[in-house]
Structures are given as structure tokens and as C-alpha cells.
Structure 1
Amino acid sequence: MTSPASGRPLRADALRNRAKVLAAAEEVFAVQGTSASTEEVARKAGVGIGTVFRHFPTKESLLEAVLVALLERLAEEAGELRSAGDAGAAFFGFFSRVVSQAAAKQAVTEALAEAGVDARAATGRAGPGLKAALGTLLERAQEAGAVRADVGPSEVMALLTGMSYAAGRAGARDDILKIAFDGLRPRPDEAGAEETSTEETSTE
């Protein structure tokens, strides 16, 4: 991690202050909305406004950092779930987790768009990691028979994007998630066909 001003590596105390500011910003924006001031973020973090601006020269750069941190945290959570014993529960649980974070992500994305910042470009380094981790969870869930085999990462991402957008507007609803999950699970006839195929193979 380097300083935005000098380009030099940050000292340990500076890294701690940056982390405090970022954590405070996430909390403030989640409670008060993205229109909350950087002064409020500084108060929440227990630092001076100058400290905030040393790490994040503009409010847009702070919002961008909050969005990147959210995506990186989700990717890290997905990575930790790769070794989960129940691959199906890990996949569907993570899907629900992403949707539950949709409102916060959407609010920050829209605030950046209003400021003329392309959120997709701003989070380019975090997005691929999240997509790859989700792809691994999908593959493991399919191997476990928890997700239908004809669904690929692109279909899951499209569904996740749509569900997240809807959740960002109207809130995450368990009944809607259940419908989506029912569509991702293998149909009874598919499960029966797979079992028959396995039995035939074992008797040959």
C-alpha cells in the first residue's frame, strides 16, 4: 500500500489510520447514505479531516475504496468457502450473502456514477477475483449434485446481478431467493437420470 500523494509505502501507523477511516466510511455510508460528509467519517474514525484527505484526496476516491473493499471482502469469503464440507450450502449461502450486500454496493456505485466515475473501471482489480471464486463454488456445488449441470458461471453471474439489482431497489426477499435457488437446483427427473446412469456404469 502506497501513499496517494508521495507514492511511497505507508508506515504501519498510516496503514492503521487508513483502515480506521475505511471502516468508519463503510459504517457511516451504510447508516447515513453516501451523501454523508467526509467530516462525519473523520469523527467516526477518531481522526482529523486532514488524515482522511491524505489517504483519500476526494470523497469519490473514498467511495471507490469502500466499494473495492466490499468486493475484496466478498472474494475472500468465497475463497474461504472453497473447502467447506457442504458445497451446496456454501454456494447458496454465498449467493445470499452477495445479494444481502447489494443495497450498499448499489448506493456507492450510483454515487460514483453521479460524480462521473465509472465504478466498473474503478473496481476492475477486485471484480475478477470475486467472479473466479464464485466459479469455484459453483463447480464444487455441481460436483456435489446441488446445482444443475447445465448452468455456467456466466448464467450465475447474470442471475446474481439481476437479483442484486432488485434487492438494491426493493430489499432482499427470502421468497424471491428461494425461487431463484429452486431454478438452480437439479430437477427431480435429472437427478433420477443421473442415479440410473451411475448404477448402469457400476454394473458393467
Structure 2
Amino acid sequence: MSAELAGQQIIILREGTNRSRGRDAQKANIVAAKIIAESVKSSLGPKGMDKMLVDGFGDVTITNDGATILDEMEVQHPAAKMMVEVAKTQDDEVGDGTTTSVVVAGELLKKAEDLIDQGLHPTVIVDGYRAASSKALEILDQIAIKVDPTDKAILRKVAEVSLASKLLAEYKEMSELDHDIDRVKPCVLR
């Protein structure tokens, strides 16, 4: 935070806070974001490992859910907080993929750091990432498979994949999942 006093700029920072600029700030931001990505990376995928989280009161949470892991972390660095926000946004919008979004963002930043070290300007890197994103969306549109919203078998497969990481354990019998698919179909048909 800064203020102007009689034409002289005064910078106010919390005690213990450092201020960096330029390449040092870029490097610190990338490192902080990569640390967040690395903290959840081992929980990714079907063989992802559980994390044991212990809060300040000694309460223990065991999970491999990226959103839960990141929500329980006490993050101070602004770039690291942004990575946590990426996960929260992903969870709010989609309900899954939080770990993947953070790990992919960390890998993109790792590659960006390599490119910056080679002398590329960050704007050029961002433009390249935008072009790659557009191309990826184009390819996804080409390979996407149309799904008949009345096809119970395919809806069940989609639900199983989507729920596998979070909720499938709650469905003791697949008939419960079938019942919920019947409730979802009217929403899909709208």
C-alpha cells in the first residue's frame, strides 16, 4: 500500500513484508505458485495419495481432494493465493478438476519461467498460451462426441467418471446411481 504526503510517496508494508520488482518479483511469484501446485500434485489421479492435514487446533483431516487441501492451507503469498482461487473457481463452476487445474497452471508457469530465462517477454508467452488454448478448444470441438440425453447407459458412464473421485463411495448400490440419473435427465433435456 502507498500514500502521497506533500508530493512524497510513502510506502506502507506490513511488518516482515518484503517488496520486490521486475524479474525478482516474477521469479518469486512463479516459485510460490509452483509450490502450491507441487503440494497437491501427489493427490492427482486414480492412484493419488491422501494428505493428512492438521490445523492449528490439532484437528486432523485426511483427503486427496485438491479443493479441500488448498482450502485448509494458510496461504500468505499473493501469487499462491491466486492459485488457491483458481482451484476455488474450478470447484465452484464445475465441482471437480481442482487439482488438475492447479497442477496444469503450475506446469504452465514452470514452462513460462524457462521461456523468460531464455529472454522471451512475458507478453509473448501469454499470447502463445492464448493461441494454444484456442487451438485446444478447436480440437476438443472436433473430437467431442454427441450424447443422447435420453440414453441412460451413456449418462450412467458419464456420471460414474464424474463422481468417481468424490461421491461414488456414497453409492453403495449402483441402483441408487440409476435413480439419481433418472432425476438428472429432465435437467439435461431443457
- Band of TM-score, shorter chain: 0.3 to 0.5
Give me the TM-score of the superposition, normalised by structure 2: 0.35
Give me the TM-score of the superposition, normalised by structure 1: 0.33
Higher Cα Rg: structure 1 or 2?
2
Instruction: Specify which structure has the higher proportion of helix.
Output: 1
